[in-house]
């Protein structure tokens, strides 16, 4: 059983997630166990070896596929059996996006992106948020692409006022349904499947912040900016993955009073920004 702080970073064997893991390992040393997670742990082994070669022996590798409830449930069992059933910090980083040159029809892109980035996020939250104790923190790696202004004023109000996840889910389902008919713009949504999925993530994060405030758990959303990665590309993005990870680490490592003051907010470059 572990008495150390337990930190879980989803989708974290490369890119921004990897840098979050590395920076948190360096910050905490033997005061924390940081979980690097991946759909396929065999592909992540070299990343684990990389960190351990640097003397960062406080990192653990685990299988976690946010699109699979069974995978998330098995990961929860791992924490319950070996880590006192506690996750002090949950960092939701895992996501997917179709390339700009993707040939799949928008209806398919919308369905798959929302299924992974929004509903996968909810699966993680449903299973793992109950393990976050009083004084814990949840950081959602969202995107400026999830801006509220991409939907009609009707949906802006619905999402801003939402007090339950079902309300957000209803909006996401309506977007996917409209996209199946090629009528997403007429229905009040944007033409960005990724942007809409991150809009849902941010809205859900704000609902969770409201719901968990009584338990003294902070929930914050952040935008890492356009960073070099396999998902975003390596030539055009101006920021490094480490730069994208910086605000996550800042939010996770500050004192809890400061975390609670920021709960429900949306951050980039260590400052709050408009949603």
Could you tell me if 245 and 21 are in contact, meaning their C-beta atoms sit under 8 angstroms apart? no
CA-nearest of 116, 268, 261, 126 to 200 is: 116
Pairing of strands 266-268, 218-222: parallel
3-class SS letters over 142-178: CCHHHCHHHCCHHHHHHHHHCCCHHHHHHHHHHHHHH
Q: What contacts 24+ positions apart, CB below 8 Å, involve 164-173?
A: 164/207, 165/122, 165/204, 165/207, 165/208, 167/207, 168/200, 168/203, 168/204, 168/207, 169/118, 169/122, 169/200, 171/200, 171/203, 172/114, 172/118, 172/119, 172/196, 172/197, 172/200
Longest CA–CA span in the chain (Å) reads 55
* Catalytic residue positions, numbered: 194
Pairing of strands 5-9, 32-38: parallel
CA distance 203 to 199: 6
DSSP letter (8 states) at residue 54: T
């Amino acid at each position: 059983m572990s008495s150390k702080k337990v930190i879980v970073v989803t989708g974290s064997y490369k890119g921004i997630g990897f840098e979050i893991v590395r920076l948190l390992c360096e910050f905490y040393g033997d005061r924390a166990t940081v979980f690097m997670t991946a759909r396929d742990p065999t592909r992540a082994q070299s990343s684990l070896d990389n960190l351990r070669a640097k003397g960062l022996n406080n990192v653990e590798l685990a299988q976690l596929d946010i699109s699979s409830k069974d995978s998330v449930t098995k990961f929860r069992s791992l924490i319950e059996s070996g880590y006192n059933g506690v996750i002090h910090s949950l960092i939701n980083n895992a996501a997917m996006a179709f390339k700009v040159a993707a040939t799949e029809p928008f209806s398919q892109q919308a369905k798959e992106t929302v299924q992974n980035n929004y509903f996968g996020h909810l699966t993680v939250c449903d299973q793992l948020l109950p393990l976050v104790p009083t004084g814990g923190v949840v950081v959602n790696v969202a995107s400026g692409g999830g801006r509220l202004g991409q939907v009609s004023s009707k949906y802006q109000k619905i999402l801003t006022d939402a007090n339950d996840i079902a309300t957000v889910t209803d909006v996401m389902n309506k977007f996917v349904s409209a996209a199946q008919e090629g009528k997403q713009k007429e229905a009040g949504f944007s033409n960005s499947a990724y942007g809409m999925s991150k809009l849902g993530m941010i809205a859900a994060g704000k609902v969770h912040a409201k719901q968990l405030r009584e338990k003294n758990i902070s929930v914050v959303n952040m935008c890492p900016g356009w960073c070099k990665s396999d998902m975003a590309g390596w030539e055009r993005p101006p920021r490094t993955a480490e730069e994208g990870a910086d605000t996550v680490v800042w939010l996770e490592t500050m004192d809890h009073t400061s975390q609670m003051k920021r709960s429900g907010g949306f951050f980039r470059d260590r400052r709050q920004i408009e949603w």
